[in-house]
Amino acid sequence: MTNAVAAKTTVLVWNYRKVLELTSITGPNQSRDLIEVTNHDSADGFKEYIAGRVDGGEVSVEGNFIASDTAGQIAFHTDIQGGTSRAGFIVLPMSVGAAWSFSAFAQGFSASFPYDGKLSVSGSLRISGKPTLLTTQTTGISNLTGIEETDTTALSITPAIAAGTYAYACTVNTASSWVKLTPTAASHTIYVQGTSVASGAQSGEIALGAAGTTTDIFIVAYESAKAPRLYILTVTRPAA
Protein backbone atom coordinates (compact mmCIF):
# COMPACT_ATOMS: atom_id res chain seq x y z
CA MET A 1 0.00 0.00 0.00
CA THR A 2 1.31 3.43 -0.93
CA ASN A 3 2.15 6.10 1.62
CA ALA A 4 1.42 8.89 -0.88
CA VAL A 5 -0.47 11.93 0.42
CA ALA A 6 -2.72 14.30 -1.57
CA ALA A 7 -1.14 17.73 -1.97
CA LYS A 8 -4.40 19.64 -1.51
CA THR A 9 -4.43 22.19 1.35
CA THR A 10 -0.72 22.98 0.83
CA VAL A 11 -0.25 26.68 1.62
CA LEU A 12 2.22 29.36 0.53
CA VAL A 13 2.79 31.73 3.45
CA TRP A 14 4.37 35.01 2.31
CA ASN A 15 5.35 37.50 5.02
CA TYR A 16 3.24 35.43 7.48
CA ARG A 17 0.05 35.73 5.41
CA LYS A 18 -1.63 33.07 3.29
CA VAL A 19 -1.64 33.63 -0.48
CA LEU A 20 -5.20 32.78 -1.52
CA GLU A 21 -6.52 30.34 -4.12
CA LEU A 22 -3.32 28.90 -5.50
CA THR A 23 -3.74 25.87 -7.74
CA SER A 24 -0.07 24.90 -8.00
CA ILE A 25 3.02 25.47 -5.84
CA THR A 26 6.35 24.18 -7.16
CA GLY A 27 9.79 24.23 -5.56
CA PRO A 28 12.21 25.05 -4.16
CA ASN A 29 14.13 23.72 -7.18
CA GLN A 30 17.57 23.68 -5.58
CA SER A 31 20.72 22.93 -7.59
CA ARG A 32 24.43 22.61 -6.93
CA ASP A 33 27.15 23.87 -9.22
CA LEU A 34 29.83 21.34 -10.09
CA ILE A 35 33.37 22.43 -10.87
CA GLU A 36 35.17 20.30 -13.42
CA VAL A 37 38.65 19.27 -12.26
CA THR A 38 39.46 16.76 -15.00
CA ASN A 39 43.19 16.46 -15.59
CA HIS A 40 45.76 14.35 -17.40
CA ASP A 41 45.78 11.89 -14.52
CA SER A 42 41.99 11.35 -14.42
CA ALA A 43 41.38 7.61 -14.53
CA ASP A 44 40.16 5.97 -17.73
CA GLY A 45 39.40 9.26 -19.45
CA PHE A 46 36.43 10.08 -17.21
CA LYS A 47 35.66 13.66 -16.20
CA GLU A 48 35.97 14.55 -12.52
CA TYR A 49 34.11 17.17 -10.49
CA ILE A 50 34.10 18.77 -7.07
CA ALA A 51 31.16 20.44 -5.37
CA GLY A 52 30.62 24.15 -5.96
CA ARG A 53 28.03 26.64 -4.74
CA VAL A 54 24.40 25.74 -4.06
CA ASP A 55 21.51 27.76 -5.52
CA GLY A 56 18.44 27.80 -3.27
CA GLY A 57 16.33 28.02 -6.42
CA GLU A 58 12.85 29.36 -7.05
CA VAL A 59 9.30 28.76 -5.93
CA SER A 60 6.72 29.00 -8.71
CA VAL A 61 3.00 29.44 -8.17
CA GLU A 62 -0.19 29.51 -10.22
CA GLY A 63 -3.71 30.30 -9.12
CA ASN A 64 -6.96 32.17 -9.50
CA PHE A 65 -6.45 35.93 -9.62
CA ILE A 66 -8.01 37.45 -6.49
CA ALA A 67 -7.81 41.24 -6.58
CA SER A 68 -9.09 41.48 -3.00
CA ASP A 69 -6.22 39.36 -1.64
CA THR A 70 -4.33 42.45 -0.51
CA ALA A 71 -2.14 40.62 2.03
CA GLY A 72 -1.29 37.78 -0.35
CA GLN A 73 -1.33 38.15 -4.13
CA ILE A 74 -1.32 41.94 -4.14
CA ALA A 75 1.43 42.12 -1.50
CA PHE A 76 3.40 39.68 -3.66
CA HIS A 77 3.05 42.12 -6.58
CA THR A 78 3.96 45.11 -4.42
CA ASP A 79 7.10 43.39 -3.16
CA ILE A 80 8.33 42.89 -6.73
CA GLN A 81 8.19 46.62 -7.31
CA GLY A 82 9.69 47.37 -3.90
CA GLY A 83 12.48 44.80 -4.08
CA THR A 84 11.65 43.60 -0.58
CA SER A 85 12.94 40.32 0.86
CA ARG A 86 10.38 38.42 2.92
CA ALA A 87 10.08 35.28 5.04
CA GLY A 88 8.26 32.46 3.29
CA PHE A 89 6.93 29.01 4.08
CA ILE A 90 5.48 26.27 1.94
CA VAL A 91 3.40 24.42 4.49
CA LEU A 92 2.33 20.92 3.52
CA PRO A 93 -1.03 19.51 4.69
CA MET A 94 -1.24 19.51 8.48
CA SER A 95 -1.45 15.70 8.48
CA VAL A 96 2.05 15.59 6.92
CA GLY A 97 3.60 17.97 9.44
CA ALA A 98 6.35 19.31 7.19
CA ALA A 99 7.26 22.62 5.56
CA TRP A 100 9.89 24.51 3.62
CA SER A 101 11.22 27.67 5.27
CA PHE A 102 13.14 30.32 3.32
CA SER A 103 13.89 33.97 2.73
CA ALA A 104 13.10 35.21 -0.78
CA PHE A 105 12.47 38.06 -3.16
CA ALA A 106 9.28 38.19 -5.20
CA GLN A 107 10.67 37.96 -8.72
CA GLY A 108 7.82 37.32 -11.15
CA PHE A 109 4.12 38.20 -11.35
CA SER A 110 1.92 37.69 -14.38
CA ALA A 111 -1.85 37.83 -14.75
CA SER A 112 -3.93 36.30 -17.55
CA PHE A 113 -7.42 37.34 -18.70
CA PRO A 114 -8.61 35.01 -21.51
CA TYR A 115 -11.98 35.83 -23.03
CA ASP A 116 -13.13 32.23 -22.64
CA GLY A 117 -11.48 31.37 -19.33
CA LYS A 118 -10.86 32.43 -15.77
CA LEU A 119 -8.75 35.28 -14.42
CA SER A 120 -5.48 33.65 -13.41
CA VAL A 121 -2.15 34.60 -11.93
CA SER A 122 1.33 33.12 -11.86
CA GLY A 123 4.43 34.19 -10.01
CA SER A 124 7.84 33.23 -8.76
CA LEU A 125 10.02 33.73 -5.71
CA ARG A 126 13.81 33.74 -5.87
CA ILE A 127 15.23 32.20 -2.70
CA SER A 128 18.14 34.04 -1.09
CA GLY A 129 20.36 31.83 1.03
CA LYS A 130 19.58 28.34 2.25
CA PRO A 131 16.01 26.97 2.28
CA THR A 132 15.28 24.56 5.12
CA LEU A 133 13.12 21.46 4.94
CA LEU A 134 11.35 21.12 8.29
CA THR A 135 10.05 17.61 9.00
CA THR A 136 9.18 17.92 12.70
CA GLN A 137 5.90 19.71 13.38
CA THR A 138 5.54 22.37 16.03
CA THR A 139 3.26 21.76 19.02
CA GLY A 140 0.84 24.55 18.10
CA ILE A 141 -1.51 26.75 20.08
CA SER A 142 -3.00 25.55 23.36
CA ASN A 143 -5.60 28.30 23.72
CA LEU A 144 -7.21 31.13 21.78
CA THR A 145 -9.43 33.80 23.30
CA GLY A 146 -10.53 37.26 22.28
CA ILE A 147 -12.78 40.26 22.70
CA GLU A 148 -14.83 42.36 20.26
CA GLU A 149 -15.34 46.07 19.94
CA THR A 150 -18.75 46.25 21.67
CA ASP A 151 -18.24 43.57 24.31
CA THR A 152 -15.20 43.02 26.53
CA THR A 153 -16.20 39.51 27.55
CA ALA A 154 -14.57 36.55 25.84
CA LEU A 155 -15.52 35.68 22.27
CA SER A 156 -17.47 32.44 21.96
CA ILE A 157 -15.03 30.51 19.78
CA THR A 158 -16.10 27.08 18.51
CA PRO A 159 -15.20 24.29 18.60
CA ALA A 160 -13.14 24.12 21.78
CA ILE A 161 -9.42 24.68 21.12
CA ALA A 162 -7.87 21.27 20.59
CA ALA A 163 -4.77 19.71 19.06
CA GLY A 164 -5.35 18.77 15.45
CA THR A 165 -8.16 21.30 14.95
CA TYR A 166 -7.22 24.19 12.67
CA ALA A 167 -10.52 25.88 11.75
CA TYR A 168 -12.48 27.87 14.31
CA ALA A 169 -15.39 30.29 14.19
CA CYS A 170 -17.20 32.92 16.21
CA THR A 171 -19.96 35.51 15.74
CA VAL A 172 -19.73 39.11 16.93
CA ASN A 173 -22.19 41.93 17.45
CA THR A 174 -23.18 43.64 14.22
CA ALA A 175 -21.81 46.90 15.58
CA SER A 176 -18.33 45.46 16.19
CA SER A 177 -15.80 46.51 13.56
CA TRP A 178 -12.80 44.77 15.17
CA VAL A 179 -11.68 41.98 17.45
CA LYS A 180 -8.56 41.46 19.55
CA LEU A 181 -7.18 37.94 19.98
CA THR A 182 -4.99 36.33 22.63
CA PRO A 183 -3.25 33.19 21.35
CA THR A 184 -1.34 30.95 23.75
CA ALA A 185 1.53 28.76 22.54
CA ALA A 186 4.47 28.64 24.91
CA SER A 187 7.94 28.84 23.31
CA HIS A 188 6.38 29.63 19.92
CA THR A 189 6.64 32.51 17.50
CA ILE A 190 3.07 33.58 16.69
CA TYR A 191 1.74 35.80 13.91
CA VAL A 192 -1.90 36.95 13.78
CA GLN A 193 -2.85 38.47 10.42
CA GLY A 194 0.85 38.99 9.72
CA THR A 195 1.62 40.77 13.01
CA SER A 196 3.79 39.22 15.71
CA VAL A 197 1.96 38.52 19.00
CA ALA A 198 3.61 37.07 22.10
CA SER A 199 2.12 33.93 23.64
CA GLY A 200 -0.55 34.94 26.14
CA ALA A 201 -0.56 38.59 24.96
CA GLN A 202 -3.44 40.39 23.32
CA SER A 203 -3.18 41.45 19.69
CA GLY A 204 -4.02 44.86 18.41
CA GLU A 205 -7.35 45.59 16.71
CA ILE A 206 -8.02 43.24 13.80
CA ALA A 207 -10.42 44.90 11.38
CA LEU A 208 -13.56 43.04 10.36
CA GLY A 209 -15.49 43.30 7.14
CA ALA A 210 -18.78 45.13 6.83
CA ALA A 211 -21.94 43.89 8.52
CA GLY A 212 -23.25 40.83 6.69
CA THR A 213 -19.78 39.46 5.89
CA THR A 214 -17.24 37.06 7.34
CA THR A 215 -13.54 37.70 7.98
CA ASP A 216 -10.91 34.97 8.05
CA ILE A 217 -8.15 35.67 10.57
CA PHE A 218 -4.95 33.77 9.76
CA ILE A 219 -2.69 32.55 12.58
CA VAL A 220 0.79 31.08 12.18
CA ALA A 221 2.47 29.38 15.15
CA TYR A 222 5.86 27.70 15.09
CA GLU A 223 8.80 26.71 17.25
CA SER A 224 12.40 27.11 16.15
CA ALA A 225 13.39 24.65 13.39
CA LYS A 226 9.90 23.10 13.29
CA ALA A 227 7.14 23.19 10.69
CA PRO A 228 4.39 25.72 11.44
CA ARG A 229 0.81 24.96 12.29
CA LEU A 230 -1.72 27.20 10.53
CA TYR A 231 -5.09 28.24 11.91
CA ILE A 232 -8.11 30.11 10.58
CA LEU A 233 -10.63 31.89 12.80
CA THR A 234 -13.70 32.81 10.75
CA VAL A 235 -15.48 35.76 12.33
CA THR A 236 -19.10 36.37 11.28
CA ARG A 237 -20.44 39.90 11.56
CA PRO A 238 -24.22 39.57 11.02
CA ALA A 239 -26.20 41.91 8.82
CA ALA A 240 -27.83 44.82 10.61
pLDDT tens per residue across span 42-97:
999 999 999 999 999 999 999 999 999 999 999 999 999 999 999 999 999 999 99
Backbone φ and ψ of 191, nearest 5°? -125, 130
Relative to beta strand 229-237, strand 167-171 is parallel
Which of 126, 123, 75, 83 is CA-nearest to residue 104? Answer: 126
Q: How much is the CA Rg of the chain, to the nearest whole Å?
A: 22
Collapsing DSSP states into helix, strand and coil, what is residue 103? strand
159-217: pLDDT as tens digits: 999 999 999 999 999 999 999 999 999 999 999 999 999 999 999 999 999 999 999 99
C-alpha distances out from residue 82 to 78, 86, 106, 128, Å: 6, 11, 9, 16
Instruction: Classify 143-237 by CATH class.
Output: mainly beta
Q: pLDDT category, 18, cuts 50, 70, 90?
A: very high
- The helix (run of H) or strand (run of E) holding residue 61 is strand 58-64
Q: Which has the closest alpha carbon to 179: 237, 99, 107?
A: 237
> Could you give the strand order of the β-sheet that contains 206-207, starting from the edge strand earlier in sequence?
143-148, 178-184, 206-207
pLDDT digits (tens, 9 = 90+) for 118-159: 999 999 999 999 999 999 999 999 999 999 999 777 899 999
pLDDT score recorded for residue 240: 81
pLDDT at 154: 85
Pairing of strands 49-55, 31-36: antiparallel
Task: Using the predicted structure, report yes or no on whether residue 25 has a pLDDT greater than 90.
Answer: yes
Q: Which amino acid is at 221?
A: A
Give me the pLDDT at residue 152, please: 76
In sequence order, what are the residues at sequence separation of 6 or more whose Cβ sits closer than 8 angstroms to the Cβ of residue 59?
12, 25, 26, 27, 28, 88, 90, 100, 102, 104, 124, 125, 127
Other CB atoms closer than 10 Å to residue 69's CB: what's the count?
A: 19
pTM of the model: 0.94
Q: How much is the pLDDT for 110?
A: 95
Q: Is 1 helix (H, G, I), strand (E, B) or coil?
A: coil
